[in-house]
Structure formats: structure tokens, C-alpha cells
Structure 1
Amino acid sequence: MTAPDTYYARTAAERRVRPSLTGREEAEVAIVGGGFAGLTTALELARAGVRVALVEAEGVGFGASGRNGGLVSPAFAGGDAAIRARVGPEAARALHLLSIEGVERLRATIRDLGIDSSGLVPGLLSLRRFDRADDLKAHVAEFADDYGYRISYLDRVALAEHVTSPRYFHAIHDPNAFHIHPLNTLCAIAAEVERLGGQIHEGTPATGVGLDGPVKRIETPDGRIEAARIVFATGGYTGGLVPRLKRAVLPIATYMMATEPAPDLIASAIRTRACMYDDRRAGDYYRLVEGGRRLLWGGRITTRAADPAGIARELRREMFTAYPQLEGLRTEIAWSGLMGYARHLMPQVGELAPGVWHISAFGGHGLNTTAIAGKVLAEAMLGESDRIRLFAPFGLDWAGGPLGLVAAQLTYWKLRAQDWWRERG
């Protein structure tokens, strides 16, 4: 694989190249995967004085962690209703509180490490494309009553202060959410892991494992790591090294594009610096960057790799539908990346075997959830808490293989059709 050409790669504050692993290395914990899940776990363990060594097949942030929309807000991709149906109201509430904690943990990490290059900007608008608001108002009240979490409802008049669009009728504003440059943030976290004594090896695929006995091992092309415990954090790029993990993850492609610099034109449509997503079940997400000079726009999923330029044409149609005044705005770059999804749409966090841990499947809502999942996994490994039990009902269910990918694509098309029908009324 070659390094992806993305807006984030082009604007990276620093791109350190780390040496691959050669020879034998010892650690207390070995981690496979250099995305947010693996590096957050490494950071939490290193802060506790644990000697960690991490291997990444490509480079830090190569996968979805370095290519995503950059939106950080509470919730899980599984959705409140589905989570409640699976685990009951009490556990569902505890999980949602974890998702809120994840937002604050990532914010605190950015603040404490002084990651100015994260470009953190507060605020999120959830935009509605049909004229109904009673459920939005109830949602605002519920979050205040159940979680002490303050969000606000915006009618069309209030929304017009933020955007000029014929497509949006109502919105919810979350001032606690924020958006970031994910690759810069992740690279700074990696540097902190190294400052604390952790080892990170890039260009180092794991080619074999030994998971039995008191000392585990990870084999690589030119060396090995031996450790008492191993963590697999490979997401949408999970290979066949541990078959049970591969069977549990669906690799789903998503797409983004960045426009040319055009601050005056963009301001004619979007004046808010908050990130935005429409609340369709198969919707888009977008945000301004560089102080409003460019627009990043993401959406669509496919289960087979598609041409990013072709998908960008579809995203542009969505953008012009929402903001006709932007029709002259050119796309400068488009890219894609693989997210890891479980069949139940929840993170998979737990112990696969004694001393063998996994943290994966953060597709669709990864930045806050990796922040908290890495924390609770580290707590479990250190014997500090049993909060990891909240993820136990969301295990390594078989994702369906090729049939699972077909089902995922059909589900996505069904959701798009349902969105169209709902907005048609």
C-alpha cells in the first residue's frame, strides 16, 4: 500500500518517518495497529509506566484514523434505540455516558499535550431536511434530563444565521462537540507515547503471532516482539493473522473531498465554523477548514473500492442540492478509506484469550469512541476498573463475510431510499 494522498496528508504539521522493526524486542505490551484505537491504548498504558511497543504496517494514521471527517461528538454508530434494545436502559445509559466521556478525554488530550495543530473548533449542527421538529425538541429535553448534556434546538429562522440553504428546515446545535485535523492529532499522540518510552515501528506488518504461553510474540518481516500481553487494533485493514478478528469486521469504504480555496463564495452559503451533518440515515457530513477558506465534504459508503473521483461527483451533487450557490466551487482533492464495522455497529473491545486483547470496529463514530475505549481497555489491563464489561454484549459476532458486505450495501441503498421518501413528503 502507498500512503494516501488526502487533504490531511497535504496539510500535516509534521510527518515523522519511524524505522521498521529489526531484530528482537521485548515489551510488557505489544500493540498491532497505529490508528487512534492502538495509539490511545498505548498512551494510556505508557502514562501508567507500562513499556509498550507498537507495530504499524504502513504509517501512523494510514487508515481511517488519518482520513476521516474529523467530527467529535457523543454517541456510538449503533444508535441509542438499538443499543437499548440489546442491553437494556441502564447499560445503554452507561454506554452513552462513556461516549460523552470520550469527547472530553480527547479534548483533554489535545489541551494537555498542547496540540495546536489539531485545529480544534467547537460546535456541531445536526441538520434536518424535512419539516418536522417535535422529536428534535424531545431529544433536546431528554439529553438535558437524562445526561445533564445541554444542546439546543434551532428553527429555520435561527438556522438561517448559520447557513443559507433551501434544504434544511431545523437543526440541533451541540456546543460541546468539536472538529479537528485527525492526522495531526494522532501524530502528536504518537510522539507523546514515544516521549513516555514507548516504541513505535512503521512499515512493520505483523506476519505471524504466537499467542500461547506466558510470553506472546509478534513476528514481522525482519524481527519479533515478545510481550506478556498483546493488543490487536487493526480496524478496517484487519488481515487474516487472527481469523476470528477478521471474521468479525466488515471493511467499508467511505469518501471525502476538499474544495479549492474560495472563502467569499463559501461564506455565501455557510457562515458557521461548527461542523455539520444532516440527519438522514445515509447522510453527509462537512465542515469549513482554514478559517473558512475551504470546505471538506464527506459521505457515501461502498463495500467495494470505488473511484474517489467518481464518488466525488456524487458528493458534489449533494453539496449543490444543499447549497446551489456553491455550484462554481471546484473540488481540489478526493480520497477514500476503509472503516471497520461490526455487524452490531458497536466497538468490539475485550479479551480474546488470556493476555490477548482486541479493540476494533469503530466505523461511523470513531473519534470519541476510540478515546474512551482505549482508556477502559487500559484500565482493564491494569486491573483498575471493570468498565470494559459494558462492551461485552457486543462481541466478535461473525460479520457475514462476502454476504455480509452484500447485505451492508443493500442496507445502505435501502436507507437512501427511505431518506428520499421521507423528504419527498
Structure 2
Amino acid sequence: MKACTKLNENKGFQIMGISLPVFSVLTVVILVATFMGALPKGMIGAFPLMMIVGAILNEVGNRLPIVKDYLGGGAIIVIFGSAALVTYGGLPETSKEIMTNFMKGEGFLSFYIAALITGSILGMNRKLLISASVRYLPVILGGVVAAIGLTGLVGMIMGYGAKEAIFYVAIPIMGGGMGAGAVPLSQIFGQTLNVDPAQMMSKMVPALALGNAMAIVVAGLLDKVGKKNSSLSGNGKLMKSQEEVKEEKQVEIKLDYALMGIGILISTTFFVWGNILAKFIPIHSYALMIISVAVVKVLGIIPEKYEKGAFQWFRFVMTNFTPALLVGIGVAYTDLNAVINSLSVIYIVLVFMTVLGATIGSGFVGRLLGFYPIEAAITGGLCMANMGGTGDVAVLSAAKRMELMPFAQISSRIGGAFMLILATSLLSFFL
């Protein structure tokens, strides 16, 4: 007879791939330590608490009908839920301090961003990246210019302020989501304007949530418009010439722990390199890191094996650490009271103007360049205005055009990176 009985590993309901009984035991241990004041300081305490809270709130958000379909799903619930927990005393103050210090003082946020940016760009097909730069980026640029211009104009007319509307509504919405968009943008704004990044984040998060919801709704409407006006739609084909840019099949490299270790070194080194360049070039280090990674990818400087390592590490971080990061954003960077106070009729109108501008701008430029306007508006406009990867899936599902995912990914990855560079340049111009 065995000395102990294994915990029941049934194949039913799971969280984080863990059966409910096991996850419950882990949760109880972490929460007891949290409320007893026995949670260790540093990453050893912050990591399990943020992962547990993030996993639970993410599961809730992905199951709430309206939230999962129109408001970004788990991501929004994790951010606002964790912010509410610390704001209204759901978690002790000591746990807030541990998580905040882990995010800010110990650099978890920068660590995540480095993995995300480096791995996502190095993981793209090189030919797709080059072709997209020539043939597809103008479509994205058209949407960005129209979104910023229209939002700034309406902001000025309604008394909100053109600069405020552009920087706190249009740019965050068009920034490529949360992890690769709003998070680094808040850091860029905070450092450039000499204000707390948490204040910036509190202004950006509502815009992202509303923008994502409106982008999904507009995608569904564009599908209906395309069915009534066949000349405007390619029914899932982006270019009228049929010479579509497609990702080539690449040889899969099996998961390799040594390669992931190389990925850690490469991503953090690119982050450090961005900081070195920032000492000589008056551009934010994030933007310089993005440019450096893109140049290295286009020139084929790094062997493919190491690119795969960076990509594998990025996927590992994104899969396992994203809910935890979103908890950190909610706790350390989201002032819930400021978020509530920022919501108004004017604010909602400005968010809609951003999504509308992105749609019209991308559709118009796309038509000039030989793209179908509906598909150009969906991929180059709405997939810039949504919340990154999850937003891409939701938008393309609503538009019934999932085959456009490669272009949606270009919008989220390269387009989002472009917005960080643009934001840095605009801040320098207006200051």
C-alpha cells in the first residue's frame, strides 16, 4: 500500500492546464500565505500570487458573454479585477507592495516587453516582413493618420483638446494591444513627460477596452457591407491582383530548452542595446530596440536557430506570464478611480472617432494601392485598433475572414511597433 494518495488529476475542468483540485490546493497555499503576511518578498512571492489571481480572473473574463465577445475577454477582467482587489481591500497592502516592486523595481515589466518584441519580430517570416513593409504598411499608415487626425479634430471641437485626444485616446488604441502597446507606451509617456506611468496607464486602459469592443462591432458591420457591395470586398482576399503575400511554410524546430535559454539572452541583450543607443540618439530605448530587431531580421544577421530560440522564449513568456503581467498592470499601473473619472460621453465619442478613422483611412489607401477596401479596412485599420492577438481573432471572426490572420499579425506586431516609434517622435515634436 502506498504511503500517500495522489491528488485527483481528472480530465475535466482545468485552469492553466491544471486540474481543479490541484489548482485549488495551490491557490489556498498562496492566499493563506498572503493574508498571514508570510508571502516572501521579491519574485518568489510575487510570481505565484500574480499567476493564481491572473488565472482565476482570466478564466472568469473568458466566460462572461458580453465581455468575452466585445470587451477583450480575460485581459480586461484581469486588469480591472486586480485593480479592484487592491483598491477596495480585497488583498492586503503588503501583497500590493510586493507585486508593485516586482513590476517596477525588479523589472518584470521590462523583461516581458523584451521577450515580446524581440521574439515576435524575429519569429516572423523574413520575406513576409520585407514584402509587408513595401506593400502593406502604407495601408496601416493610412489608418493611423486618419485615426489620429479625426480624433484630434473632434477632440479640439468638443473641447477635450487635440493633443490630449491624440496622445491619450488615438495612439493607445492604435498601439497594438496591451503588452506590446499600452504598457511600453505608458513607460515612454511617463519618462518623456516626467509623470508616473501609472497615471498614463489609467488613461489608456479604458480607451483600449472601448476601442477593442468597437473594432469588433465595426468588423461585423463591414462583413454585411461587403455582402451588399461585392465590388468593395474580396471575400477574404486582400489584393485584387491575387498576388497575395503569404507566409511560407517553415521547418518546425521542436521545443528546445537550450534554445529558450539563448532566447532569454538575445531578448535581454536587445533590450540593453536599446538603452545604449538611447544614450546617443534622442529616441526612447523601446523604439530603438524595435528598429534594431527589425534591421537584424531583415538583414538575416542572426542564424535561424537563434531566431527560433527567441521565438520559443517569447511564446513561453506570452503563454505563461501574460495573465500575471496583467495583474501587475492592474495593481501597479491602474488607478481605478482615475479610470472611472475619465469615462464620459466625449471620451466614448473620441474612441469611436479613432476606430472610424482607422477604418476609413486604411480602406481608402488600400483601394488606391489595389487592395479590396473592406479587407484593407479590417486588417490595416481594425486589427490596429483592437487589443493585439486576442483582438485579431475576435475582429476576424466577426468579419468572417480568419484567412487574413497573417496580415492581422503584421498589424499587431509591426504596426504596433511603428506606433511606439511614432509616439516617441510626436512627443519630441510637441514638447
Higher strand share: 1
Q: TM-score, normalised by structure 2?
A: 0.25
**What TM-score do you get using the length of structure 1 for normalisation?**
0.25
Between the two structures, name the one with larger relative contact order (CA 8 Å, sep ≥ 6): 2
Higher helix fraction (1 or 2)? 2
